[in-house]
Structure 1
């Protein structure tokens, strides 16, 4: 029986799989224009190339696993921030802050790299569904504020966040990017009349 570094074989396998996913994410974030091969991922994780095949059949299989791991983490991060807010206005601003935080952490670049690396219809479908699920609580908050056309407004909020994200990627100044969006959106959000129960 090979030596394991965790308390159980299951925990050992989970730790090695997580190490491979972390290594793939790091490499994709560091060099977004270059999708790493399994050998590079294994080397970064401190494992042999042959060990990777115990967890992933191919590079595409590994990339699918990175996507499957990343999307729920991003969604949870946004949901947690918005859940802590009682006012709809604060929920929208929390969405802004978390999204820009994801950009600052390199997660947005990772998403773009994954979309380019796995340009399949399935990836496009999953990305659309994920994007819609991220925007759903913003749409609900805008509905609660009494915004007449919440669908159009959520698209505008998203466009402003994307513009701030591009600026953040070029300047590296998270606070300035966040402040620019808040300065633009907050007066509008304060003017809305919340729906009364």
Structure 2
């Protein structure tokens, strides 16, 4: 009988799932999804391979559960950062900053690679998670346009281009000074790209914000672009 690591069976199952998610996230940071096996995930998580099948039917099932879990955490932090920001342009700037910071910690596989290795149904479900982020940014841009802070534009196209710029470019620097310069340049570039005036004040930061706060294991938003 496998060792129970929690006080209850439910707690044990949750700890095992978390260990498997963390393991998959670490592996995705080093190799493509199609090169990862369930044995790799189990070994890296320090659990038996049979434990994986107690939770997930196959590798795609694990990936979907992992991305659903990561997306919830990802959206929760973005929503918290935006909660007290009312000005649409400031909301855009906070969104961009958070996306750039969060991509240091998350390791979602690229959608372009996944479409060649996953079933059509699974790819469709992964795209639905990207839709959450696109909808959030789309709302911000529409608010800014409605308030006259941005010129009329193809919002759907702007969303795609912004995500390509923020999520598909160079990694956000880990060095604090280099990161500050990068974030300032990114802020100015995106504002200019959408037709906004350059801001006269820094990006709003909540009192409890921590750029180096630990987050779950993605280098880019799931299936973005």
Normalising to structure 2: TM-score of the pair? 0.69
Distance (whole Å) between structure 1 residues aligned to residue 3 and residue 162 of structure 2: 52
**Preserved contact between residue 20 and residue 42 of structure 2 (Cα < 8 Å):** yes
| Alpha carbons of structure 1 residues 30 and 145: separation in structure 2 relative to 1, 3 Å | farther
Aligned runs of 1:171-186 on 2, under 5 Å? 173-186=178-191
Compute the displacement of 1:143 (Å): 3.7
- Report Cα offsets for 1:148-173 as digits up to 9, x if no partner: 425x2563365245224444239765
SS, match of residue 110 in structure 2: helix
Structure-to-structure mapping, 1:1-197, within 5 angstroms: 3-32=3-32, 34-105=34-105, 107=106, 110-112=108-110, 116=114, 117-118=117-118, 120-124=120-124, 125-146=127-148, 147-149=150-152, 152-153=154-155, 155-156=157-158, 158-169=160-171, 173-186=178-191, 188-190=195-197
Displacement of 1:23 in angstroms is 0.5
Give the number of aligned pairs.
189
Distance 2:80 2:184 in 1: 21
Kindly provide the CA deviation profile for residues 66-92 of structure 1, in whole angstroms up to 9, marking residues without a partner as x.
121122222222222111312222100
5+ residue gaps, structure 2: 200-225
Could you list the per-position Cα deviations for residues 37-78 of structure 1 after superposition, in whole angstroms to 9, with x for gaps in the alignment? 111101111101111111011111111111211222222222
Structure 1 segments, 4+ long, off by >6 Å, are none
CA RMSD of aligned residues (A): 3.1
Contact 1:100 1:177 survives alignment (8 Å): no
Q: Give how far 1:110 is off.
A: 1.7
Look up the match of 1:195.
Answer: none
Greater relative contact order: 1 or 2 (C-alpha under 8 angstroms, separation 6 or more)? 2
Task: Structure 1: give runs of 5+ residues left out of the alignment.
Answer: 193-197
| Mapped partners of 1:18, 1:73: distance in 2 | 13
- 2:188/2:198 contact within 8 Å kept: no
